[in-house]
Amino acid sequence: MSVYRYFVKDLSKKSAIDEFLSWELRKAGYSQVEISKTPMGARVVIYAAKPGIVIGRRGQSVRDLTKTLEEKFGLENPQISIASIELPELDAKIMSTQIALALERGVHFRRAAYWAMGRIMDAGAIGVEVTISGKLSTQRSRSETYRQGYLLKVGDQVKKQIKTSTAHCQLKPGLFGVRVSIMPPNFVFVDRPSFKIVAATSDTEAKPVEEKKEEKEEGGEVENANSEKAGDQATTA
């Protein structure tokens, strides 16, 4: 197998695992998964907002996931560990999934969108945009977009720093799509200059004063020398 085919196969397997976990652990606030190979087998780290649901009662859910990853996806001796997320409100994948689950429970789409945006902005985000598409109120499909705060649209920093995710849910009218874009509080603005204020210490403050004193002493010596020369010239005259 060539190197190109090896990496394509590896990435396709990771994508399939991520899609499987995002559906199975959607109620647990699944965010992402990291897979790395070790001499003991495959190490799988699952990031979720509710680790207790992922673990299950007496670890039964983790054992089922281990068996599925080993049999269905061909991972060798997978070792699963769960990592919690401190601020799930700033994770676009978690919030889009929560909006989709709210729509499945029968919550109105506008209420679900404003509820999610309120939580995201309260968590400290600079801006947020929520787009819900589908047969919202009529038999004709359309989309509605809700925005709050400040959100950039173009530029290289948008691709690197703005978090965007999409989730889907199947309702009676049809398939609904939810897209969430979040501008995190630690966003780095390239076009805005930043200034660093350095506090002056006692040593740096004392040096200019000492230099001024030395200058005054040197100036006094020069004046004395000039006066002495003037006195000598007057005596000789």
- Nearest to residue 6, comparing CAs of 47, 37, 43? 37
Please say whether the beta carbons of 148 and 121 come within 8 A: yes
- Nearest to residue 156, comparing CAs of 124, 126, 189? 189
Lookup result for tokens 């087998």: 41
Give the chain's radius of gyration (CA, Å): 33
- Nearest to residue 180, comparing CAs of 129, 146, 145? 129
pLDDT digits (tens, 9 = 90+) for 106-120: 999 999 999 999 999
Q: Is the pLDDT of residue 235 over 50?
A: no
Greater pLDDT, 201 or 55:
55
Mean pLDDT of 180-201: 80
Lookup result for tokens 């689950």: 101
pLDDT digits (tens, 9 = 90+) for 28-87: 989 999 998 888 888 999 999 998 888 888 888 899 999 998 888 888 888 899 999 989
In order of 20, 125, 157, 180, the CA distances from 85 in angstroms are 20, 16, 24, 18
pLDDT score at 213: 46
The pTM of this model reads 0.75
Q: Give the model's confidence band at 152: pLDDT under 50 very low, under 70 low, under 90 confident, else very high.
A: confident
Lookup result for tokens 């889009």: 96
Greater pLDDT, 236 or 28:
28
Average pLDDT over the chain, rounded to whole?
A: 83
